[in-house]
Structure 1
């Protein structure tokens, strides 16, 4: 049985009653712009880690990775994971719950989330830090200054209380004896240090997401490469990079002797360029490296890739996809990917062999729900090779 045999996104962002049935090893999401393809990946990321608040927060901000100056506030980003709609002729929004369910080997059957607005009296930043120190039993230096100055008067700050409930599959009850439901509540406030929040990690399914720009960040890359090396996966990562550039022979984490500071970097051994930082290579090399390292980190889990074909030249698509499908099978990783490219669809058809290998889902947003048209490998092959039909 697959990790996920089917998934139904009843409500999430703009998605309504999206049913992805009879999932395969590789699941391709297509559709017009704003049809909800990326939202499906985000819903899957949260559903696989429903009680980990850090996943909620990172998913809420995923679309603003490169926009660090004018970001939406984290609480507003979190709110907009929920479906909103306005009442007729009223300046009022109704917010729905998030509801997702699935079938398969994953122990979670249903996840339901809701939130409510909160307000509290909040002291200024200086006094708030003082109170925080006191709460942590840190030493506070006595001062003759009054506790509240003119610019330190209490104010009102807003927050949200996020409630998450999960229902477990009865056939997985042995993993969580005497439990058929679990719940967690998180209180999130403006101006709080949110990265220190923690949530429960179980039940969960190893998941990694690759966005069109995530390969440009060094965050976590060292750890991912180290894990791949300890898992004896480095040679296979090199095999993938060589699909684009055959002159690549090695990849290492090094500190340049010419470096003024003590910052390590990932270097690629290249037959023509010598040792060169990975940042000096094109987006194609950097993104394939990122995909390979993410794949190695979710053995037995789920890999989510937004815009699968992004930065990869059409001539390298088939060989790159052949590597990706092979290792998804070997590592028991279920892949979900979005694409706008017919070349990507055809490339995956060439490197897969059966209906269980590849399934394509076309999302068509309607007024009350999102229609899903499913093509398994056999039907997709007929439509593309025999009829040359547009399937996006």
Structure 2
């Protein structure tokens, strides 16, 4: 069974309060001013993958575990998921998924707990060495974030993180991976990390051929993309290589420019998201305007073919215009949501694809 989200009603999450997005479409474009909540909406939609799993929520932390050595901790990351202006730490939203409504609540309480210095060091990823048998350990008073998740009012899972913690050990008894939905999130810089979904592409010959045709906008001489798992130069794992008439031998994808890497990432993610949901934050990042139309058309039409619901964010007027107009086949499947702050709430304006084009071209309405 596929995954389809028809409504998202956010009571509170990060800086968003009382935002209701109704009549979600197969293709949803989310725009608005900076700090209007575009990325936060995609984060919550990512949590729908398995909203009672702290492992899934951990992935919403914006450092995503990549920069913990630079002073960021899981305590900081989880704490920042909540509204910084509220003393009561609470996340609450309702989502209509495949016709079934779920009300998800996460509550957190800041506690203080005394722990041994060795335990604290372990949380920080440090080895603790006791030099003398009669050495008396220091007792430390540290902050602790005690968290609980409810699904439709029923307690589903509990977890806790401590101040300074850079290692996260989840409670496996609370995890149920069988509930996970196929929801893929692509951040604005994901292409620079080298993460791809090309296995799905290489197993789909017709879509592989189509993708190569689109990639000619980035390298007109491209011939193929293959996975090389030879242990060249002591490499322990394989790399994806591009064979092009422009070069004497196949080159690793990572030597190409950001545009090629972003296009390959997006197109491979579309195929991997079959019967699921694809979330793309700042989808136009690294894509040159000359390549946008063909790339966007392939992405939208292939999502339509593979039953993938799409949510994209953008602040670029040109990119939004090209996305709206790239495929007549998909236009009736599109909705554009503009987020804006109104008093203490996040308001939204919704237009279907045709109305959005008419409002922009004939009435001069600013869609962002």
C-alpha displacement of 1:162: 1.5
User: Aligned partners of 2:259, 2:109: CA distance in 1, in Å?
Assistant: 43
Q: Does 1:302 align with 2:277?
A: yes
1:204-236 deviations in Å (ceiling 9; x for gaps): 421111111111113x53xx3224323555434
For 1:208 and 1:283, the matched residues in 2 are separated by: 20
Partner of 2:361: 385
Contact 1:12–1:83 under 8 Å retained in 2: yes
Residue equivalent to 1:185: 158
Shift of 1:194: 0.9
Answer whether contact 1:352 1:358 (CA < 8 A) is retained.
no
TM-score (normalizing by structure 1): 0.81
Instruction: Note closer, same or farther for the CA distance 1:38–1:345 as it changes in structure 2 (3 Å cut).
Output: same
Q: Is the 8 A contact 1:51 1:201 kept in 2?
A: no
Q: Contact 2:332–2:354 at 8 Å: present in 1 too?
A: no
CA contact (8 A) 2:74 2:161 kept: no
- TM-score, normalisation: structure 2: 0.86
Deviation at 1:347, TM superposition (A): 1.3
Q: Please, which moves more after superposition, 5-14 or 190-199? A: 190-199
Partner of 1:217: 193
CA distance in 2: counterparts of 1:117 and 1:34, whole angstroms: 26
Alignment of 1:70-109 (within 5 A): 70-85=70-85, 93-105=86-98, 107-109=100-102
> 2:180 aligned with 1:194, yes or no?
no
Does 1:166 pair with 2:159? no
Question: Does the CA-based 8 Å contact 1:107-1:203 persist in structure 2?
Answer: no
The aligned length equals 354
**CA 1:348–1:126 in 2, change beyond 3 Å: closer, same or farther?**
closer
Q: Which residue of 2 aligns with 1:327?
A: 302
Work out the CA distance in 1 between the residues paired with 2:208 and 2:331.
30
Matched, 1:369 2:342: no
State the alpha-carbon separation in 2 of the partners of residues 110 and 31 from structure 1: 26
Contact residue 299 and residue 333 of structure 1 kept, 8 A: yes
Task: Report the CA distance between 1:48 and its aligned residue.
Answer: 3.2
- Computed over aligned residues only, the root mean square deviation of the Cα atoms, in angstroms, reads 2.8
Among candidates 116, 119, 122, match of residue 109 of structure 2: 116
Preserved CA contact (<8 Å) 1:102 1:108: yes
On the 8 A contact 1:362/1:391 being kept in 2, the answer is yes
Tell whether 2:246 aligns with 1:245.
Answer: no
3-state SS, counterpart of residue 293 of structure 1: helix
Distance 2:56 2:99 in 1: 18
